[in-house]
Amino acid sequence: MTRHTASLVITGHDLDFREMAKAARGKLPVSVAPQAFAAIAASRGIVETILAENRPAYGITTGVGSQKDFAVDPASAAAYNARLVAAHATRVPGPTLPAEAVRGAMIFLANQFANGLSGVSPELVELLVAAINGDKMPEIDGSGSVGASDLVPNAQLAHWLLNRPEAKKLGLPRPKETLSLINNNAVSLAQGALALASAERLLAAFDLAAAAALEGFRGNLGSISEAANRAHKREGQRRAAERLRHFLSDSRLWNKGEPRLLQDPLSFRCVSQVHGAAAEVFAETAKVWNSELNSVNDNPIIDRETADAVSNGNMDTTRLTLAADHLRQALGKMCDLAGERVHKQQWPAFTGLPTGLAEESGAVGGVQFLNLGHITASLVTSVKIWARPSLLNSVGQVADGVEDTASHALHAVHDLMRVIDAGWKIAGLELMIAVWAMKRRRLGKADLGKGIRPAVEILGDMLPIGREGDAIFDIAPLIAELQSGALLDHVLTESREKVDLALD
């Protein structure tokens, strides 16, 4: 469950994606637990011993990647580490990361280092914390990762961090520190945490939109009844049906004879099944993400039991990519059904209303005159493209064949963010059209479910009903109203689960 805290204290072991997202947006001050510094200092001591003995250790006394077989002269180790970060920080034209993703990446780094397995100095961790709590974030490219460490964006972040005046005064980076800063999945994990925080609320928005669609369509609520859902042992479906019934409590639709059809189209009839499956996938994805947020994907790690550096493949992102692929497909299915309901609500054969929910049949007016159906169809198409699995895309031979497999986590997460962004628009469009249908049916507040009434009150006046074509209709304010949380917070106030939709 969500923990409500006034600050984020990093321990290395209990970072949650919700807290990370909140802190990444600058809404929580961040610190590292004092006890973590003992482990950090101990592993740093081992690195210093390896250096003093000039023992072969990957990335500490040797080069990296395909240059791993070449030794680094201890006398030039500091200069080598400074050059290593600049060499990997190649700039790539294109989109840059939002500030919250950059801050989130540094939060992950601090959490990883707090485990005491990376061999970085306490001074570097303190520098990280100061940067996290600062106002200014660097401009970092959003590409350059194949999912076997976010090397290029990490290196750009590390270059900015290590060129701060405080870093220069402390003599940073020291041997191993550059490698620890760049050889991890900080950007993918941070972007994913931010995406999950948005997706969690999007699930609630889709529930609200589907419930409103049932109301506007005058659908048959038998499909979400307790009797229907007792027939299956699907926990997600049960909870989804409960949420839908909560939104529709006290609706006139529960009265006998109110639903217009004996049986609705499948896009209405299967809401609890599809939304429930998506809720279960979200819960599993959240578990994976929280586990990875508290794991160490540095290479090599510093093993305090053997006092040695251990090379490994913990930077592999197969688990992350599988989770993100799965969630994109689940959200894509929700978007697909929402798109179908959008069209059915404008179709006279299904609604019994004029074409496009116009006031009366004619050449102008209604939703169709505003092309909302076309916009929805375009967004659903994009979602289906972005929902395709990323995991099995070939990476080819990288670093002279040393890096011959990768899992594309950052690509999977970027596409997840695209799906979520489109999902908010699709849920908003479905909700708008549902409210439009309620207005056309002359339904009063008392006719509607308790959870639907605030949406009609808040959004109803924002829709150009009866003014179609008088001016360009901008849907952005309605999407922002839904996405901001105020509407969801209002309609979910009495819900037992509120916005925390993850299954226990």
How many CA atoms lie less than 13 Å away from 4 in the CB half-sphere? 1
Q: Quick one: pLDDT at residue 392?
A: 86
As a whole number, the mean pLDDT across the chain is 91
Rounded (10°) CA dihedral 383, 384, 385, 388: 110
The model's pLDDT over 143-201, given as tens digits with 9 standing for 90+, comes to 888 878 899 999 999 999 999 999 999 999 999 999 999 999 999 999 999 999 999 99
Question: pLDDT class for 402, splitting at 50, 70, 90?
Answer: low
| Percent of residues, the chain, with pLDDT higher than 90 | 77
Asked whether residue 111 carries a pLDDT value surpassing 70, the answer given is yes
Question: pLDDT class for 500, splitting at 50, 70, 90?
Answer: very low
Q: Write phi, then psi, for 337 (nearest 5 degrees).
A: -65, -40
Q: Quick one: pLDDT at residue 492?
A: 61
Q: Quick one: pLDDT at residue 425?
A: 98
Least confident of 119-123, 269-273, 355-359: 355-359
The model's pLDDT over 458-479, given as tens digits with 9 standing for 90+, comes to 999 999 999 999 999 999 999 9
DSSP letters for 239-307: HHHHHHHHHTTT-GGGSTT-SS-SS--HHHHTHHHHHHHHHHHHHHHHHHHHHHHTS---SSEEETTTT
Please tell me the distance from the alpha carbon of residue 366 to that of residue 493, in angstroms, as a whole number.
33
Asked whether residue 22 carries a pLDDT value surpassing 90, the answer given is yes
Mean pLDDT of 311-331: 94
What is the token pair recorded at 200?
């969690």
Q: Quick one: pLDDT at residue 499?
A: 36
Higher pLDDT, 303 or 147: 303
The model's pLDDT over 219-278, given as tens digits with 9 standing for 90+, comes to 999 999 999 888 888 999 999 999 999 999 999 999 999 999 999 999 999 999 999 999
Q: Quick one: pLDDT at residue 303?
A: 94
DSSP-derived secondary structure letter, 175: T
pTM equals 0.93
Q: Quick one: pLDDT at residue 144?
A: 84
Q: Quick one: pLDDT at residue 400?
A: 58
Domains of the chain, earliest start first: 8-184 (1.10.275.10), 197-491 (1.20.200.10)
The model's pLDDT over 438-455, given as tens digits with 9 standing for 90+, comes to 999 999 999 999 999 999
Mean pLDDT of 287-296: 97
Please tell me the distance from the alpha carbon of residue 492 to that of residue 469, in angstroms, as a whole number.
34
Q: Quick one: pLDDT at residue 3?
A: 46
- Nearest partner of 308 among 20, 12, 60, judged by Cα: 60
Q: Name the residue type at position 374.
A: H
Rounded (10°) CA dihedral 127, 76, 80, 186: -40
Mean pLDDT of 380-395: 90
| Percent of residues, the chain, with pLDDT higher than 70 | 93
Higher pLDDT, 76 or 435: 435
Least confident of 171-185, 203-217, 243-257, 387-401: 387-401
